[in-house]
Amino acid sequence: MAATSIKRAAPWLALLTGTLLAGAWVAWQRSVPAQAGSQAPDTAFGWIRPEAVGAEKVAEQAWPVLRTGLEGLPRSLAATEVDGGVQADAAGHLKLDRGLRHLFDYFLSLVGEEPLARVRERIVAYLRAHLPASAAAEGAHLLDRYLAYEAARGQQGQGAPHDGAPDMSLSTLAQRMAQIRALRQGYFSAAERQAFFSDEEVFDRYTLDKLAVMQDSSLSPPDKAQRLHQLVEALPAEMRASMTAV
């Protein structure tokens, strides 16, 4: 594979561009009939955009057998290196880290070029090719919960005001963030949430604090500037560097 690599923007960069609580998933997701915290069956992942791939084309398509998940990648990923990665610990269990979510998102960027069920097959094949059987099974289970969570998040955001809307109040934004945190708790363990979403939750807290300062009419402009600077300085170094690069 060519050395060109798709670099996933850090979560806080995505948030800075106005996708704080509802990412690109919202535009195409449909509901997944899965209970929170349970493994969704393969048949749940049939919610794809009709304009992307017609149902009749999906049925007629003779997909090549997947052994690594990288066979016949569509054009958007054909000349890229896999973003993220997977590891197992000494006991053969799946290691939880941000790279695993990057891997999921790398393949899931194909949705629209391929039906979601096919993309899921790619990810599972990749897991099986790079992990012991037990860790691969854990990864597939986590993937299904991740997909169910993203579908639920997209459904939860339907009809809600855009997070960058001028009339978005501090209390409304805080409520939205609390709803997302509660949704994550229904699908993931504490360790999984830490691995997948800790950066976003740090940035969410910063966003709320920043908005509170900006809306505080009792503060003078210099005081606001000082407090905003303090909020930035309290962020992790990598996050600060990413914000400066925007």
What are 225's two structure tokens? 């500037």
CB-CB contact of 47 with 29 (8 Å): yes
Q: Which residue has the higher pLDDT, 56 or 166?
A: 166
CA-CA distance, 226 to 219, in Å (whole number)?
A: 10
pLDDT number for residue 31: 32
Given CA atoms 24, 102, 182, 230 in this order, what sign does their dihedral have?
negative
Q: Is the pLDDT of residue 34 over 90?
A: no
Written as one string, the DSSP assignment of 36-78 is: TTSPPPGGG-----TTTS-HHHHHH--PPPPSSS-TT--GGGT
User: What is the average per-residue pLDDT within 168-174?
Assistant: 84
Per-residue pLDDT reduced to its tens digit, 107-138? 999 999 999 999 999 999 999 999 999 999 99
pTM comes to 0.73
Model confidence pLDDT, tens digit, residues 130-162: 999 999 999 999 999 999 999 999 888 665 555
pLDDT of residue 59: 46
Work out whether the CA dihedral 141, 119, 199, 29 comes out positive or negative. negative
- 19 has a pLDDT exceeding 90: no
Check whether 27 has a pLDDT greater than 60. no
pLDDT in tens, 184-218: 999 999 999 999 999 999 999 999 999 999 999 99
Q: How many CA atoms lie within 13 A of 149 on its CB side?
A: 26
